[in-house]
A and B are shown apart, each in its own frame.
Chain A
Amino acid sequence: MNAIVESITKEYNNHILEVSTSQNETYLTVKKEIIMKMCDHLYHHLDIPLVCIFATDERKEEGSFKIHYVFSVDREDAFIILRIDIDGKNPRYPSITNKVAAANWYEREIQDMFGLIPVGHPDPRRLMNFEDWPAGVHPLRKDFDIKTKPPRIKGEYAYRRVEGEGVYEIPVGPVHAGVIEPGHFRFSVAGEPIINLEIRHFYTHKGVEKLFENISLDKAVFLAERISGDNSVAHAVAFCQAMEKIAGMDIPPRAKHIRTILLELERIYNHIGDIAGIATDVAFSFGAAHANKLKEDVLQLNERITGSRLLRGMNTIGGVRRDIGSKKDEILVSLSVIQRDFRKLMGLLFSTPSLMDRIETTGRIYNDIAKGLHVVGPVGRASGIDRDTRRDHPYAAYREFNFKVPVSKAGDVHARTIIRGDEVCESIALIEQALWSLPEGEIRIKADDIPDGNALGYCEAPRGETIYWIRTCGNKIERCKVRDPSFCNWLSIEYAVLDNIVPDFPIINKSLSLSYSGNDM
């Protein structure tokens, strides 16, 4: 870690204004003119992924806005955070999207939420504030009151157009056929193959980050739990870990084990559900029914051990709220039955030609695209990105256990299905290890007062790397940035569908398992 920081401080010596370190996070305040060069250097030359960009409004304390670029040094379990100051009177800064494509949505988000303009952004359209939202109103600025109801105005959104002989446009959504959340997909097709897709989201943007700033600490974890319904545990754990890091708190070992078990149970039911979805979308209803049955078995197990099918209400700052140690045998027995059935099911799925026909080579995301967009989680791993927060930045009790991180290079629906299947088996093995070595003792420690400070909380949700950055002040949340994995992965669908036929879109979409709710925060 020191070596990397040293090398960049040497190289950019004249441009670095301040260096500070807290635990595994190194903050470098740099001049804004150099930011594009530094990000490019870290991302492309040192191969350090950019995992989040967010802004803070510190005009009151420091007289400026700040933008933070979070880089994850996976090899050394560390983070480098570049920080630039932006004067409130001239809220402009150089965009890095032309060099680092992964910055695209973050910069547009900051433009909408804070009114800071990324100069040179290739697509400066609005992202979250829709066209009926008045100009100059930026909800995450500190002087924007949460009760404000801005008037609606008239405006229009310009979609990219693909024109040519025989090119048709197919608009889908935002209202869909099933009970799912809203999102707009605009396909351009030439015959059957898709030649372009543009997605538009954020129809249900709820202002979660603003809500965090207006809620007391003990209630905030319940809000985090509800950001993305089926990734409840992951969000709650990432939130709690950030808080515990700020407080310098080491939670009891038993709580760490229980968190690990909950996180893995969540991964199991999500992955099996996704596999069921893929089977449904290729009309292999037999496989879908069996996978759904297995998912239901896991949900009922969840309910029996925690009282909640989606494992909610279990995490709290300082540990967990319920002990599940007494249910050890029940969990082990249920999981061994589920594992046996699951293995059989996967064997059956992969030996069914009508299914394989549809998923092999479908929806390919090439490694360079996945890297460029910073695709995370099982989708990234299916495209050859060997990253997993559990291994690279171990949290909860993961340091103590052995597990493999399955990776594949193929990048198609088939690869994503295999990765999920393998991860389910790894998760079951992890739960077994955690239960066998479950330490005795407390499950939570008191955490009434959290000191002022800031820290990153991170976690590998079923969908991938989930990141929180929280700053507390006076026992309140001053800023809470949430980065859900779907925010990184949604754009990859625009590439995955290219050259595929329209009827394969649902399978590709399912195999990417993208959350609207986690994205439209």
Chain B
Amino acid sequence: MLEILIKTIKTGCQTTKYPDVPEAAPEGFRGMPQLLSDKCTFCGECVRVCPPGVITITEKNNEKTLALSYCGCIFCARCEEVCQSDAVKLTQEYELASLTKEDLVTIIRRKL
């Protein structure tokens, strides 16, 4: 019993104040992927390799659209790996809870 008491005091408080105090993910964390519209060439390579198929590319009215949904993203970083233009990057962002599905899609467009 005494041993348990000593260990408890020695260990001290282990919980953190998250989410009141934000906690940054470590460097190299595989979080929310981000699309950079100025770099993207709309080559479609990321669409081809994405395992759950959550990146889509469409062309309509002379405009190309690349959409990435976080709903099914598995944060594998395949898209980042194949992109020749560094136009998709996994970020350290991990707070992805949302009330609507629309919030979980990121879209970039380019006029042809």
Q: Is B98 an interface residue (CB 8 A)?
A: no
Chain A residues with CB under 8 Å of B29's CB are 303, 307
Chain B residues with CB under 8 Å of A322's CB are 28
A304 and B28 CA atoms in complex are apart in Å by: 7
Q: Is B22 an interface residue (CB 8 A)?
A: no
Which of B35-43, B72-80, B103-111 contacts its partner?
Answer: B72-80
B71 vs chain A, min Cβ distance (A): 16
B51 and A223 contacting across the interface, CB-CB below 8 Å: yes
Q: Is A138 an interface residue (CB 8 A)?
A: no
Chain B 19-42 against A: per-residue CB contact (8 Å), 1 yes, 0 no? Answer: 000000110111000000000000
B8 and A226 contacting across the interface, CB-CB below 8 Å: no
B28 and A348 contacting across the interface, CB-CB below 8 Å: no
Chain A residues with CB under 8 Å of B81's CB are 321
Chain A residues with CB under 8 Å of B90's CB are 307
A226 and B3 CA atoms in complex are apart in Å by: 41
Chain B residues with CB under 8 Å of A293's CB are 11, 14
Q: A304-B26, A308-B30 are in contact. Are A222 and B4 (CB under 8 A)?
A: no
A290 and B7 CA atoms in complex are apart in Å by: 10
Chain B residues with CB under 8 Å of A307's CB are 26, 28-30, 77, 90
Q: Is A160 an interface residue (CB 8 A)?
A: no
Which residue on chain B has the smallest CB distance to residue A220?
B51
Q: Is A286 an interface residue (CB 8 A)?
A: yes
Chain A 303-347 against B: per-residue CB contact (8 Å), 1 yes, 0 no? Answer: 110111000110000000110000000000000000000001000
A347 vs chain B, min Cβ distance (A): 9
Chain A residues with CB under 8 Å of B28's CB are 304, 306-307, 322
Chain B residues with CB under 8 Å of A303's CB are 25-26, 29
Q: Is A10 an interface residue (CB 8 A)?
A: no
B51 and A219 contacting across the interface, CB-CB below 8 Å: yes
A312 and B76 contacting across the interface, CB-CB below 8 Å: yes
Interface residues of A in 459-505 (CB under 8 A from B): none
Interface of A is mostly: helix
Most chain B CB inside 10 Å of its own CB: which residue of A303, A304, A307, A308: A307
**Total contacting residues, chain A, CB less than 8 A:** 19
Chain A residues with CB under 8 Å of B77's CB are 307, 313, 321
Which residue on chain A has the smallest CB distance to residue B29?
A307
A218 and B30 contacting across the interface, CB-CB below 8 Å: no
B70 vs chain A, min Cβ distance (A): 16
A286 and B76 contacting across the interface, CB-CB below 8 Å: no
Q: Which of A218, A223, A304, A348 contacts B49 (CB 8 A)?
A: A218
A223 and B78 CA atoms in complex are apart in Å by: 14
B68 vs chain A, min Cβ distance (A): 16
Which residue on chain B has the smallest CB distance to residue A215?
B51
A348 and B4 contacting across the interface, CB-CB below 8 Å: yes
Chain B residues with CB under 8 Å of A321's CB are 77, 81
Chain A 282-307 against B: per-residue CB contact (8 Å), 1 yes, 0 no? Answer: 00001000100100000000011011
Which residue on chain B has the smallest CB distance to residue A226?
B74
A321 and B49 CA atoms in complex are apart in Å by: 15
Which residue on chain A has the smallest CB distance to residue B5?
A286
A219 and B55 CA atoms in complex are apart in Å by: 14
A429 vs chain B, min Cβ distance (A): 25
A313 and B76 contacting across the interface, CB-CB below 8 Å: yes
A215 vs chain B, min Cβ distance (A): 8
A348 and B3 contacting across the interface, CB-CB below 8 Å: yes
A223 vs chain B, min Cβ distance (A): 7
B75 and A308 contacting across the interface, CB-CB below 8 Å: yes
A304 and B74 CA atoms in complex are apart in Å by: 18
A348 and B7 contacting across the interface, CB-CB below 8 Å: yes
A211 vs chain B, min Cβ distance (A): 11
Chain A residues with CB under 8 Å of B76's CB are 222, 312-313
A348 vs chain B, min Cβ distance (A): 6
A401 and B112 CA atoms in complex are apart in Å by: 59
B4 vs chain A, min Cβ distance (A): 6
A286 and B8 contacting across the interface, CB-CB below 8 Å: yes
A222 and B30 CA atoms in complex are apart in Å by: 15
Q: Which of B4, B51, B75, B78 contacts A286 (CB 8 A)?
A: B4
A265 vs chain B, min Cβ distance (A): 15
Chain A residues with CB under 8 Å of B3's CB are 348
A370 and B14 CA atoms in complex are apart in Å by: 40
A190 and B32 CA atoms in complex are apart in Å by: 54
A146 vs chain B, min Cβ distance (A): 15
A322 and B90 CA atoms in complex are apart in Å by: 14
Interface residues of B in 59-112 (CB under 8 A from A): 74-78, 81, 90
9 pairs from A and B in contact (CB 8 Å cutoff): A218-B49, A218-B78, A222-B51, A222-B78, A304-B26, A307-B29, A312-B74, A313-B74, A344-B7
The 10 closest A-B pairs by CB, nearest first: A219-B51, A307-B30, A222-B51, A307-B28, A304-B26, A313-B76, A307-B29, A286-B4, A308-B30, A222-B76
Give the interface of B toward A (CB within 8 A). 3-4, 7-8, 11, 14, 25-26, 28-30, 49, 51-52, 74-78, 81, 90
